[in-house]
Structure 1
Amino acid sequence: MVNTYSFDCTACGKCCNSPPAMSLRELFGHRDLFVGCIALGRVRRDANTPLHAFPVDEANTITITTLALDYSSIGRCPALADDGLCSLHVKGKPDQCIAVPLDPLVPDHLQHAVLAQRSTGAGWIGAQCIRPGEHAEAMLLRGNEIVDEEAKAAVQRRRAAMLIERDLWSAAIFNDLSREFDQPRRMLAMLPEYGYRTIPIVPALLAIGVMSTELAQICIAYIDAQRSLIQRNVTQAMQRRCLDDRPMTQTLRSFADALVHARVRLAELPPRAVSAPLVRKAEAWLLG
């Protein structure tokens, strides 16, 4: 099997056909562009299981992360410019995007399999950006090592962000799920075998917002921006009159309703001073 690949972006936009997976911090930074949600996924438990995953039983783990969501009928990322380039190059491009075509969720020694699949996958055919072998000034992967420094740094930042946010909010959500579903098989039953289940981002906001007054304020500001963005996106969908958009419209409206209730809860919280180390960590991560 080929384990050396080069990558030379052609700005064709094929890899920008949907919004990316993003950390909560990145979603806060782009609150007016991306609708955020929580993604619950099932991952097999083995030596290659991501470090941010939560063990459920001897064979399974679940991941709890954030990502951006939009109408699939649009077929493009909201940040994709008309020239095929990302409009966020100088405005905080998400690490998941900088890492493309690598997958930060996959260990380095298996990235060659990711590149092999993506070089021939239906969504990538014709892109001609992923090439097996070594090509001058375009080297990406050599054996088990990511050799492109920018991509390597992005992969490491993305992995680090998922571990940080595991401590800050996703662990609390996992604990809530564990209490709600007292048996592992019941928890797994709510998740698709492949892909993920999306839910409103509200549990993450509440887990963060209760920590301190400043964190509650940034969560409220995020909620206000998200409600406006959702309204704009739904209005545009109504104007397109595409039947395929209806399920996403219903999803976004349910997200907006959940955000309204979350805002009320956060606004009613009494003033809170920073004390615990976890709170200081959260403020440094989300406010710094």
Structure 2
Amino acid sequence: MTIIHPIPFPVAARNPPPAGHFAFRCNACGQCCNTPPLLTLDELLRFETRFIGVLALRRIRPLRGDFTAADLAAQADIDHSLLLPAPDGDALQITLQAVDYPSLQRCPARDDAGLCGLHADHKPLACEVVPLDALRADRLQHAVLASRQGELGDADCIAPGQRDGHAPLTDATDVVDPAYLDALYAHRNALATDKAHWGRPLYATLAAELHAPAVWTRIPHHGFFNLSPVPLVAMMAARSPQMAGRWQQFIDAQLTLIDTAVTDALVHKHPADRPLTQQLRGYADAYRALRPSLARASRTPHHA
């Protein structure tokens, strides 16, 4: 999400809200749930029978503009903790993402009533922080809300200042809702753990391929460039026979989901879905090629 300055209040307003103060109320309208979520590694495994997971890459420009030194320092700390350096001065986010067919325009976890089917079942941390953004410093969350207020204006969920039925969420420099503050830090901790556990070593393995112009120029600043999770699965499975067995289970669950999704897509024949069908078939082929080596590794005694 690109940070922009808060929307200016009308000059004619008699009592304009203090700058940076926003309140929030979820109306369960579903506008925040029209795409599959980002996932941590633990969530990828936990929801292996619900979400088709992919590696997701995004380039992030350094924070620039009319920001204070404190703003820039706080954001630099977040970038250092959660992102990876890139050769052109940008930072790189390597994360995991659920995918589904674009014609569906919804998260696969939404039920028939349009509500989150995971709301009471440890829904992804990325969903817990909505409408905030864990990749932005606390003191910049008001700018995130200003941006999203414009995107979700008809939902009437984000309000500048105070509003009846809305809970205060940010002031000029802080997130003031304790539950959201806890969710932000939980998500950042999980992202930092993923970066150390698999993000940094996987990036080192793929760096030459990713930095090739044909690939690097396709990694966007808005949205994500998706890759097969097979390099991640192979790296994690190589750590022990137990891990090989666990990731073999993951592959089996993903193959079932992919086969079902592709079959349904072939029935509906929506033109916008064709590219993803090709991608999913490629992911399935790669999984099937990797699976025998994982089966062998899971039966191999591990020696320290």
The interval holding the TM-score normalised by the smaller chain is 0.7 to 0.9
Counterpart of 1:93 in structure 2: which amino acid?
Answer: K
Does residue 38 of structure 2 align to residue 38 of structure 1?
Answer: no
Q: 1: distance between equivalents of 2:113 and 2:176?
A: 28
Counterpart of 2:50 in structure 1: which amino acid?
Answer: L
Asked whether the 8 Å contact 1:37–1:200 carries over to 2, the reply is yes
Give how far 1:15 is off. 0.6
Asked whether the 8 Å contact 2:22–2:160 carries over to 1, the reply is yes
Counterpart of 1:16 in structure 2: which amino acid?
Answer: C
Task: Map Cα deviations across residues 73-92 of structure 1 (whole Å, 9 max, x no partner).
Answer: 10111111233321112222
Give how far 1:273 is off. 4.0
After superposition, the Cα gap between the structure-2 partners of 1:189 and 1:211, relative to the gap in structure 1 and judged at 3 Å, is same
Q: What aligned pairs does 1:1-288 form with structure 2 within 5 A after superposition? A: 1=6, 2-45=19-62, 47=72, 48=75, 50=79, 51-57=81-87, 59-121=89-151, 124-135=152-163, 138-180=167-209, 188-269=216-297, 271=300, 273=302
Asked whether the 8 Å contact 2:82–2:135 carries over to 1, the reply is no
Give how far 1:178 is off. 2.8
Counterpart of 2:270 in structure 1: which amino acid?
Answer: C
Counterpart of 1:117 in structure 2: which amino acid?
Answer: S
Asked whether the 8 Å contact 1:37–1:67 carries over to 2, the reply is yes
TM-score (norm: length of structure 1): 0.87
Larger mean CA deviation between 2-11 and 141-150 belongs to 141-150
Task: Map Cα deviations across residues 17-45 of structure 1 (whole Å, 9 max, x no partner).
Answer: 01010111101111111110001111224
Structure whose CA Rg is larger = 2
Asked whether the 8 Å contact 1:177–1:187 carries over to 2, the reply is no
Structure 2 residue ranges without an equivalent (≥5): 1-5, 7-18, 64-71
Give how far 1:193 is off. 4.3
Task: Map Cα deviations across residues 113-153 of structure 1 (whole Å, 9 max, x no partner).
Answer: 111111111xx231111111134661211222112222222
Asked whether the 8 Å contact 1:57–1:184 carries over to 2, the reply is no
Q: 2: distance between equivalents of 1:31 and 1:271?
A: 25
Q: 1: distance between equivalents of 2:209 and 2:275?
A: 27
Larger mean CA deviation between 156-165 and 93-102 belongs to 156-165
Q: 1: distance between equivalents of 2:94 and 2:117?
A: 28
Equivalent residue pairs, number? 272
Asked whether the 8 Å contact 1:237–1:249 carries over to 2, the reply is yes
RMSD: 2.1
Counterpart of 1:55 in structure 2: which amino acid?
Answer: P
Task: Map Cα deviations across residues 197-220 of structure 1 (whole Å, 9 max, x no partner).
Answer: 100111111121111122111111
TM-score (norm: length of structure 2): 0.83
SS for the counterpart of 2:189 is: helix
Identity of aligned residues (%): 35
Structure 1 residue ranges without an equivalent (≥5): 276-288
Counterpart of 2:103 in structure 1: which amino acid?
Answer: S
SS for the counterpart of 1:145 is: coil
Which residue matches 1:286?
Answer: none
Q: 2: distance between equivalents of 1:144 and 1:262?
A: 48
Larger mean CA deviation between 96-105 and 38-47 belongs to 38-47
